């Protein structure tokens, strides 16, 4: 999360609900030593004011992305395939 600016900006202004959920999930994963997400996953809070900018930056990294919504639901966008054209649909 640290390299995306938008998330860190949200912390300075007060966390969004989705950001709090992300922090809770990551903290539990560390405490339990059980990480149920793909390696190198990028967590993105869907309720960030600059969500579009954060997503564009995350997509350029070509890593799996987990978009977390304020209601606790999430959507995993897998890493791109090796095929020309990038991400799977």
- Note whether residue 89 is domain-resident: no
- Note whether residue 84 is domain-resident: no
Which one is predicted more confidently, 72 or 88? 72
- Note whether residue 83 is domain-resident: no
Taking 80 as the threshold, does the pLDDT of residue 6 lie above it? no
State the DSSP code for 4. G
Band of the pLDDT at 77, cuts 50, 70, 90?
very high
Task: Give the pTM.
Answer: 0.73
Number of domain units in the chain:
1
Read out DSSP for 21-86? HHHHHHHHHHHHT---S-TT-EEEETT-TTHHHHHHHHHHTTS-EEEE-TTS-EEEEPPPPSSTT-
Q: pLDDT of 43-58, one tens digit each?
A: 999 999 999 999 999 9
Instruction: Give the domain range for residue 18.
Output: 2-77
> What is the β-pairing status of strands 42-45 and 74-77?
unpaired
- Note whether residue 86 is domain-resident: no
Q: pLDDT of 7-46, one tens digit each?
A: 444 444 578 999 999 999 999 988 998 888 888 899 999 9
- Note whether residue 20 is domain-resident: yes
- Note whether residue 40 is domain-resident: yes
């Amino acid at each position: 999360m640290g390299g995306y600016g938008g998330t860190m900006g949200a912390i300075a202004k007060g966390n969004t609900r989705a950001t709090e959920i992300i922090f809770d999930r990551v903290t539990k994963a560390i405490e339990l030593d059980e990480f149920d997400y793909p390696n190198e996953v990028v967590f993105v809070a869907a309720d960030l004011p600059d969500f579009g900018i954060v997503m564009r930056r995350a997509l350029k990294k070509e890593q799996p992305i987990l978009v977390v919504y304020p209601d606790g639901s999430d959507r995993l966008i897998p890493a791109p395939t090796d095929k020309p054209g990038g991400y799977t649909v």
